[in-house]
Each structure stands twice: as structure tokens, then as C-alpha cells.
């Protein structure tokens, strides 16, 4: 993420060349969104405008999934046992748009995969208002963690699609529309910032027996010398009933 990016974005990788690899049966994706920067080149206004940052600076040990319905222990009679229903998911269907009312996001979603060298694709900087779905992983609503990424800013347009992602709070709702005509709602469990050299790969790309969503962008204070953001902002969310 240079403050003066080339016309075409560089491939995403680890800090100056250590690529993040896709997690799957054959490859492991380390999401260390730097390089072309997931995300984003520096904004250069007279008075720097900085994206909001989450309060939590370390990720949750393992975000606890929410039950499909609210639970109130007042509903239990003495002697009742609490049971956990098995999680179920939707059939696979590509996401088309993501809507986050709290931060005014209503964006189209493009499909992302991996480059020939195994690094994860990112949306082009000249289309920084688009979000991107990591298509080798689950689609939103399927069992497993679906991953959607987006730029925080771009020298070409300024604030990008996920500029305000760090302002989300637990309980906020994210809606993803799908190509099958349906939509799925996710409730935010937590929002946290992680150094890119300590990215929580397993929590983002690792297996899960429940439908989850991870929304990711860059965070921290832009380093003018390195042309890079030091952190990733990650939203952990669970499927609502």
C-alpha cells in the first residue's frame, strides 16, 4: 500500500512480500493484508482523515457463536436442561451485496480467489467501493466462516468501502444478499484490531460447525515511510435466526 500506488494494484501479501495463503485442503491462506493493501493507499488531505479504530486491540480467543434464538434463563423451569441444537446452514450461493446500516455501507460484492502464486486476490484500487468475497471459502449462510474483504481507503477516491468498519459494535447487524435471491443477517460478535504479523488465521479461515462471517480491512495509523497500514480490523459475526 503505497501512498502513490501504481495504476494497477500489487498483489496482496505479507509485510513486503510474505504472502497470505488460502486456508483449504491444499493450501493455507495467511491473511496479512498488506502490499496492495487490503487495503488501501494513503489518503492525502491537508488534515489527515483517519478511519475509526475498534476499541479491542487483540482478537477474541474464539468468537463464541450466538444461539439462533435469544435465551433467557427465566424461561426455564427448575430442573430443565439446556440443550444445544445442531447448527444448520444454507446451500451455497454467491453473495451479491453487503449492507451495514450503522456505517452506511451498501456495496456490491465481487468474487475473489487466489493469484497464480497462491496469494489472495483483492479488489482493484480503482474499484475500492466494491467488497470482495473469498470464493474458495464458504458462501455467507453456509456452515463455516465466510470471508469478505475491502479497502479502507484509496488515493484515487479517498475513503473506501470499509473506511468506517472499526466503528461497528457488538450487536450491530450485517446483511448479505445472495445470488439465489435470498439474504442472510449476521449479528456482530466482536470487532478487533490485529497486527498483520499476528493475524488470527485459524479464527478467520479455520473450520467452524456454524455459519459465520468475517469482514476485514486495514487498520491502525498509516505508515508514510513503509506505505502500509500496520493492522487489520476484523469483524467477527454469527448468523441470526
**Per-residue pLDDT reduced to its tens digit, 223-234:** 888 888 999 999
Instruction: Give all strands (DSSP E) within 83-182, no chain letters.
Output: 95-100, 105-112, 131-134, 144-149, 153-154, 158-159, 173-178
pTM score, whole prediction: 0.73
Averaged over 43-51, what is the pLDDT?
60
pLDDT in tens, 166-207: 999 999 999 999 999 999 999 999 999 999 999 999 999 999
How many angstroms separate the CA atoms of 132 and 91, rounded? 20
DSSP class per residue in 80-96 = ----PPPP--PPP--EE
Range name among 5-19, 37-51, 116-130, 148-162 with the lowest pLDDT average = 5-19
Nearest 5°: CA angle at 19, between 198 and 218? 55
Locate 168 and state its grid cell.
461497528
> Structural domains in the chain?
12-48+92-239 (2.40.260.10)
Question: Strand pairing of 131-134 and 105-112?
Answer: parallel
pLDDT at 38: 57
Number of CB atoms found within 10 A of residue 240's CB: 15
Amino acid at each position: 500500500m503505497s501512498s502513490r500506488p501504481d495504476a494497477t494494484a500489487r498483489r496482496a501479501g505479507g509485510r513486503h512480500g510474505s504472502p497470505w495463503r488460502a486456508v483449504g485442503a491444499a493450501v493455507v491462506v495467511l491473511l496479512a493484508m498488506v502490499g496492495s493493501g487490503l487495503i488501501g493507499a494513503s489518503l492525502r488531505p491537508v488534515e489527515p482523515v483517519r478511519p475509526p479504530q475498534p476499541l479491542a486491540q487483540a482478537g477474541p480467543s474464539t468468537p463464541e457463536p450466538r444461539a439462533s434464538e435469544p435465551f433467557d434463563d427465566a424461561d426455564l423451569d427448575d430442573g430443565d436442561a439446556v440443550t444445544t441444537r445442531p447448527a444448520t446452514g444454507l446451500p451455497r450461493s454467491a453473495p451479491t451485496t453487503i449492507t451495514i446500516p450503522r456505517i452506511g455501507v451498501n456495496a456490491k460484492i465481487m468474487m475473489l480467489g487466489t493469484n497464480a502464486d497462491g496469494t489472495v486476490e483483492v479488489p482493484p484500487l480503482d474499484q475500492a467501493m466494491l467488497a470482495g468475497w473469498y470464493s474458495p471459502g464458504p458462501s455467507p449462510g453456509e456452515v463455516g466462516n465466510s470471508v469478505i474483504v475491502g479497502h479502507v481507503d484509496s488515493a484515487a477516491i479517498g475513503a473506501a468501502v470499509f473506511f468506517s468498519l472499526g466503528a461497528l459494535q457488538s450487536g450491530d447487524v450485517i446483511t448479505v444478499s445472495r445470488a439465489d435471491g435470498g439474504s442472510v443477517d449476521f449479528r456482530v460478535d466482536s470487532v478487533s484490531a490485529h497486527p498483520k504479523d499476528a493475524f488470527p488465521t485459524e479464527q478467520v479461515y479455520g473450520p467452524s460447525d456454524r455459519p459465520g462471517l468475517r469482514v476485514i480491512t486495514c487498520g491502525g495509523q498509516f505508515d508514510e515511510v513503509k506505505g502500509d497500514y500496520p493492522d487489520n480490523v476484523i469483524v467477527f459475526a454469527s448468523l441470526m435466526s
